Amino acid sequence: MKPHPATKIIHPEYTAPEGFSAFPTAIHHASTVLFENVAAMRSSTWLDKSIYTYGLHGTPTSRTLEARLAAIEDGQHCLLAPSGLAAIALVSLAFLKSGDDVLIADNAYGPNRDLGEWLARDYGITARYYDPMIGANISDLIQDNTRLIWAEAPGSVSMEVADIPAICQAAHARNVIVALDNTWSAGIAFKPFAHGVDISMQALTKYQCGGSDVLMGALVTQDLKLHERLEVVRKLLGMGVGMDDVYLILRSLPSLPLRFSAHDLHARKIATWLKSRPEISKVLHPAMPDCPGHETWQRDFTGAGGLFSVIFDADYSEAQTDRFVDSLSLFKIGYSWGGANSLCVPYRMKAMRSNWTEKGQLVRFNIGLEDVADLIADIEQALAKMG
Ligand SMILES: *Cc1c(COP(=O)(O)O)cnc(C)c1O
């Protein structure tokens, strides 16, 4: 029987020849994944990463990205989530249940704190915030029901560099899991597993993407049990990622180390220049001595990125520092970072932190890939407009 044209366009006759070879990873879109026969379907389990069962659990495109991300951080396993925040939520939902306690660094990514508060209010969990400079003394805060510690080094706005090995050692002595938001270092400047971390979280939205256009997150682990627990909860929550987005990250990944070191170089030049300015009282860049935890950064990190903050002299009001930010022209006002464009955001720290004692206004810079002299000239003209 000759098939109808409608049937023919659904059953293609063309398949790519063996031997076609190129650098890009193929984009495999799939919801339905086909099984050879019923027996193969019945014997397949979705947790088995050597096979494919359904698009939600990945295609060769997403598995390729997962393998590369695990390799960057010297991890064994990786799973993708629809955003950095989704990855954070996945960890908390996978390892906390009613009656448990979670310790969250006071300088953690704001929405991670919000998540803690929501779990505390509606799900019978206690969430407590600790001073990021606490180090080994975190053991004093660990209770019998503490299950998870969230750390971030440096904190994404105030930039304190926590002593991750000391926190991990204290946690492991009490069987507590440590999850690190490792986005600032992109997994390049800080190797989480060499410093004791159990789960490394990345907002791929930042440097891995680099294009200011994709939202995605990743969780890297060395321990298969932790990974499988995260996979189970990811599946229960139905979190998947789009393969076109995965492809965009794969396309950016080869230039990640080069981009990261360019951000680092540009940011340190600008941070050093800012330190010489009378308007600025502190430069909170982990590679500079003003930054709490600077020595820890020197000990544990091999680089920095493009993100740092400054504290203005306390004589400048919020209205004045807002005018500074509004007067910038190359630096745009917007959240997120890690792309080619420089960004600048003023923060109201008192509303974000349990104990914030700095008197001056805090402004955060994301240094992009523009020419450094042009960026400095832009900052200089905006400082002159503060009045
Ligand atoms: C941006 C960011 C996140 C969240 O990533 P999204 O993909 O925007 O959800 C988490 N942690 C840090 C430190 C971030 O900068």
Show the DSSP H helices in the chain as ranges.
Answer: 5-10, 38-43, 60-72, 84-95, 110-122, 164-173, 224-237, 243-252, 256-275, 294-300, 318-327, 349-352, 372-384
CATH number at residue 347: 3.90.1150.10
Residue to mutate (ligand 1; options 112, 216, 336; most atoms within 8 A of CB): 336
Residue among 78, 366, 385, 97 at smallest CA distance from 246: 78
Do 109 and 187 fall into the same domain? yes
Based on the fold, state whether residues 118 and 129 are members of the same structural domain: yes
Residues lining ligand 1, Cβ inside 6 A: 83-85, 109, 156, 181, 183, 203, 205-206, 215, 217, 336
- Among 254, 278, 301, the domain boundary falls at 254
The residue whose CA has the least distance to atom 11 of ligand 1 is 109
Same-domain check for residues 318 and 220: no
What is the Å distance from ligand 1's center to 204 Cα? 8
Low-confidence ranges of the chain (pLDDT < 50): none
Residue among 161, 185, 205, 263 to mutate when testing ligand 1 (max atoms within 8 A of CB): 205
Give the closest residue (by CA) to ligand 1 atom 6. Answer: 84
Task: Give nearest CA residue, ligand 1 atom 5.
Answer: 84
Edge to edge, the sheet with strand 307-312 lists: 280-284, 307-312, 362-366, 343-347
Q: Clarify whether residues 215 and 354 are in a common domain.
A: no
82 and 212 inside one domain? yes
Is 33 contained in some domain?
no
The predicted structure's pLDDT at residue 5: 87
DSSP letter at 36 equals S
Residues 128 and 261 in one domain: no
Q: State the distance from the centre of ligand 1 to the C-alpha of 51, rounded, in angstroms.
A: 31
Residues 2-61 have pLDDT tens digits of 889 888 888 888 888 888 899 999 999 999 999 999 999 999 998 898 899 999 999 999
Q: Give the end of a domain, one of 209, 229, 254.
A: 254
- Distance between alpha carbon 213 and the CA centroid of its chain, in Å? 15
- Distance of alpha carbon 290 from alpha carbon 279, whole angstroms: 15
Instruction: Give me the phi and psi of 150, to 5 degrees please.
Output: -95, 130
For residue 366, how far is its CA from the centre of ligand 1 (angstroms)? 14
pTM value surpassing 0.85: yes
Q: Is there a domain that residue 303 lies in?
A: yes
Ligand 1, residue 87: give the atom nearest the CA.
9
State the residue range of the domain holding 320: 256-383
- In this predicted structure, what is the pLDDT of residue 2? 87
Number of folded domains that form the chain: 2
219 in the same domain as 278: no
Give the Å distance between the CA of 203 and the centre of ligand 1.
5
User: Are 116 and 170 members of one domain?
Assistant: yes
| 216 CA closest ligand 1 atom index | 7
**How many A from CA of 57 to the centre of ligand 1?**
23
Q: Are residues 361 and 231 in the same domain?
A: no
Nearest CA to ligand 1 atom 4: 84
**Closest residue (by CA) to atom 2 of ligand 1?**
203
Between the CA of 127 and the centroid of ligand 1 the distance, in Å, is: 20
Distance 84 CA to ligand 1 centre (A): 5
User: Helix, strand, or coil here: 267?
Assistant: helix
CA of 5 to the centre of ligand 1 (A): 48
Of 202, 237, 254, which residue constitutes the final position of a domain? Answer: 254
Classify residue 9: in a domain, yes or no. no
**Which residue among 113, 161, 183 has the greatest number of ligand 1 atoms within 8 angstroms of its CB, and so is best to mutate?**
183
pLDDT at 17: 82
Q: What is the pLDDT of residue 15?
A: 83
